[in-house]
A and B are shown apart, each in its own frame.
Chain A
Amino acid sequence: MRTLNTSSLDHLAVGAALLGAGGGGDPYIGKLLASWAIETYGSPQIVDPSEVPDDALCVMTGSMGAPTVAIERLPGGDELHLALLALERYLGKSITHLVGMEIGGINSMLPIASAARSGLPLVDCDGMGRAFPELQMCTPSLFGILASPMVIADAKGNTVVIDSADNHTAEKMARLITIEMGAVSYIALYPQSGKSLKESMIPRTLAFAENIGAVIAHARAKKVDPLAALLEVTRGVRLFEGKITDVDRRTVHGFARGVVSLSGIGPDTGSTLKVKFQNENLIAEYNGIIVATVPDLICFIEPSTGTPMTTEELRYGLRAAVIGIPCDSRWRTDSGLQLVGPKYFGYDLTYTPIENFVKPT
């Protein structure tokens, strides 16, 4: 059990931006929110999954919607608290623990704020280990755990209970309600026991993200190569270093899809890398040959500072290092790949774990 302070939030924000794999929204607003909640209500207790009793009632919290709206209609601060109260009324039981939905991007911070606000302990784990665009893309889905009953809430005090038969349907209904709620909503979902949490959730991702941020800050302070330090802490693979030569964006069904092209510098001089994205980075091709695919993480980093770069900020002329980070092993199972593998995103290819790819020479 531990608590959080402001400097751990700073590190966490950097790590969460990296684990967003290009998407997930900028954690800046989330960090302000978490620091407000900690100042106002005190730091939540962060507990290890092994400390959670088997009969605990654990609930995921997060937000969904458009990051562009999230930077304008900021949270009121009570949304997730109201969502939890409504879920308790519906379940007729008290929630004992909160867990994170998505460690990548802005959703890394919301559970911290909601745990501080509600006074519940936060379990150090999440349901993605990265960022994904849809709410059924959480590891509990692989263990037959329903997102429902879930509650979706807004700042005006509206709460809606969704009790759907499957998680894809929950996603579709929640997305529609989110638009009605002004394109950003706050959700409490995947109620589950402490026993199932230990199996279904990805453990210690808060500590992991915080550690990533600390390693980058340390490398910067010591003026050593942040990339090498980053690869070590993430067990990552260096894919490429180059200059962005093109960013081709278009919107398909509300998702920002596109391709980033880079031309190599340093050891990659003469080579090219193409990264295909749909909010998050999905596929990396080195000289036309695939070297990384979703659900492994493909991340852009500013090479001199180690600062993670989201797809929104990529533009022609920027220097970037691209690394691959292995995803959680739960995603590498057949059912995991069915839910979040390359085929789900429209690419007809077989997933190969990033550490098994051989980069062409």
Chain B
Amino acid sequence: MIDDKMLLSVSKPIQYTGGELGMVKKDIHSVDMRFAFCFPDNYEVGMSHLGMKILYHLLNERADTYCERVFAPWPDMEEKMRERGEPLFSIETKSPVRDFDIVGFTLMYEMCYSNVVNMLDLSGMPMLASERGEGDPFVCAGGACAYNGEPLSDFIDFFILGEGEEILNEVMDVYADWKAKKQERKTFLERIAELEGIYVPSFYDVEYNEDGTIKSFTKNNVHAKDRIRKRIITDFDNSYFPESIIVPFGEAVHDRVTLEIFRGCIRGCRFCQAGYVYRPVREKSAKKLVDLAEKLMKATGYEEISLCSLSTSDYRELNELTEGLLTEIEKQKVNLSLPSLRIDNFSLDLMHKVQTVRKSGITFAPEAGTQRLRDVIKKGVTEADLIRSVSMVFSGGWTNLKLYFMIGLPTETEDDVRGIGALAHKVLDAYYAQPKEERHGSPRISVSASTFVPKPFTPFQWEAQDDLDTILQKQKAARSAIRSRQISFSWHESKVTILEGAFARGDRRLGKVLLAAHKHGCKFDGWDEYFNFEGWMQAFADCGIDIAFYNNRKRSFNEILPWDHIDVGVTKAFLQKECELAYKGIVTPNCREQCTGCGASCFGGGVCFER
């Protein structure tokens, strides 16, 4: 058991103790099924995750199920646990994870895979799906990275594709019946493999060509589907959302009421995986959201509400929503935060009303330095748009701007990279273009450049990722184009993106690498202080796998991709067409301007059927 002796000797013990406001309590003997919701990062990050909040309460609404939370213990705690032989435990009842019926991981990004493996190891159950037998829990995974979960397929019994609210209850129903009938382990997997949205990797065989590409991907079980289509909620307005959520005692990264205003994105920027895998766009009505906000504030006492979506300005009822919320926040004395707003008169007025943006400054994401490249990636923003927006922001009294760019985009040249600096200078010029007496303070422009990683289910899924040297050169070139001390330049650690790239588009052979990396102590890769690049490189070398095969190789359009058997609605043919248009610098309309026939209308809902 986790006792005071352990808790007193670790940092932030509050992350292990539970008992927070809103935590669900049940008697473990009074339920038929126990679900361990595992978040492969620490408590602070996990408790910020919206999906976990929804699914935790959704599962706990069932009288027959108790869903408990599990987080990755911080390395100081892990050391104590290993010393004393304490297995990975749940927050609610401190039960060993291996005692649960279903152990579910949410995969929010690729750099959490080593934590998934480490958590399985810490739980004491067999790490590999093939080694788990009768009496062992089933291990499943969902979330953004599950759309290509192949690198984890050695460890995971089944993947859940798409939105958990839509499918989890069906899985639990099958489990309850399977358990009551005392059927074999394999039977459960066969039964859920017949559900739309469930992918059981062991029911498929992969053959490879001599050059390492995939030769064939075939099912080996009659219950398995040829292609697995993701599940989505079509009626998002009436979808489940808890009216009370857990309020952490300790700090969480995002510690507030989060209102998800819509799912999906109409924009379809060609580099953005979320913009394709979450299609089609489905909104919640302003009325529902205001009502929900009121209930959640009453239940939690949170002092801040934040809107959540991929692009706030595309919400059709933004006016009604903010009006409703402003009345409410006035009454309750809470703050409203409005991320990813496009700048126009309406949004500036709104920002003045809510005031919270003054703290952090205003962010713009031109993503690329030249118009040519912005057209390639379909970032529908022109230089004139940007200058108009920043001028409005400057005259509105803000002086602190952030500009986000990516380096390593397809077709990028040195001109494009230097264009990042040039554009930052034009933004600065816009400040000085104001009459002297109207300028506020002194301007600070922070330019931040991340490294582009090609992702599955995007028009750039076939692209080669730049190697480390090229990225470093490009970062240098972008930097050298900045000559003002009022512009700062920062970039992201590109070594992490090499691994992110490999696992994003990886196949099953990377399972070996994950195991080897685990042996070299890799974990918490998203945390600079724990990221162990040498360990990872050693792991690839141990397995004789060339990381460049995954990262730096341009795929042909006819290659069988490791995720081809997954159907997210958007078709491969559409992605190929978008890729070809990208090379020509042709921008296609967004979902509300004109349907481009991506395939997402197959779900029968959302923006595809708006009049």
Do A and B associate with each other? no
